[in-house]
Structure 1
Amino acid sequence: MMHERLKMLRKTLNIGSQQKFADNLGISFSNISSYEMGRRSPSDAVIKLICEKYNVREEWLRNGTGEMFNEIDLDYGDICASIGVNDEKMKEAIMKYYSLTSEDKELFWNFIDRFAR
């Protein structure tokens, strides 16, 4: 059922509350709540908005068939654009990394290398 997939999507994307999901989409909390409870179905425009904003396959959202997300081309720019939309913590981490000095970036990568072992 679409209402279950909407809730699953919100949790998969780690968006948090229905209010935050609604705010991210620019729609009311009561609409999101009604959609997730199965009392109402989202309009075609809302479905398209969700799919575009979160790279969701419309067929999955509507019918539950196939994969949840569209395949992402592993292009650095596309990945960064996707992160900016979907993952606020990663976006914050990238911005913090960007502001580090060259020396601090080197320390960071040394830490990552040790951590990954």
Structure 2
Amino acid sequence: MNERLKKLRKTLDLTQQKFADRLGVKRNTVGQWECGINAITDQVVFSICREFDVNEEWLRTGEGEMFEQMTEQQKLLKYTGMLLKDKDSAIVNAIQSFIVTYEQLDDTSKATLEKIAQQFVDNLKKSQ
């Protein structure tokens, strides 16, 4: 896994320091992982996959694509969940359902909804 970690970092064009900063670890920790001195824990694997959209199977075994292949809808749901982490799950579910519904609309309906949302934001700004 250490070689794949180094390959990932170089593909992302990140120094060990910048890679470490994104994961919240020290630069020498990344160096030790890449050299195989220290093992990469499951928690670190999850963090790497989440932070850089890496395919966990590829990172662990070398099988499959380096990066997750997600639809735009899946990306929206993922990032919404990340933004609302530790918030009320009912709110997260409602927002995710709204996004899914929006993605299912035809272009005319999307344009109408966007116009309504813009008017709502404009009214909100005026009332402040």
Give the TM-score normalised by the residue count of structure 2: 0.55
CA deviations over 1:82-110 (Å, ceiling 9, x no partner): xxxxxxxxxxxxxxxxxxxxxxxxxxxxx
Residue 38 of structure 1 corresponds to which residue in structure 2? 36
Does residue 12 (structure 1) correspond to residue 11 (structure 2)? The answer is: yes
Q: 3-state DSSP class of the match of 2:40?
A: coil
Specify every segment of 5 or more residues in structure 1 that has no aligned partner in the other structure, as ranges: 82-117
Matched to 2:57, the amino acid is E
Identity fraction in percent: 46
Larger Rg: 2
Matched to 1:25, the amino acid is L
Residue 58 of structure 1 corresponds to which residue in structure 2? 56
Q: 3-state DSSP class of the match of 2:2?
A: helix
Residue 67 of structure 1 corresponds to which residue in structure 2? 65
Matched to 1:38, the amino acid is G
Higher RCO (CA < 8 A, seq sep 6+): 1
CA RMSD, aligned part only? 1.5
2:25 aligned residue (24, 27, 30): 27
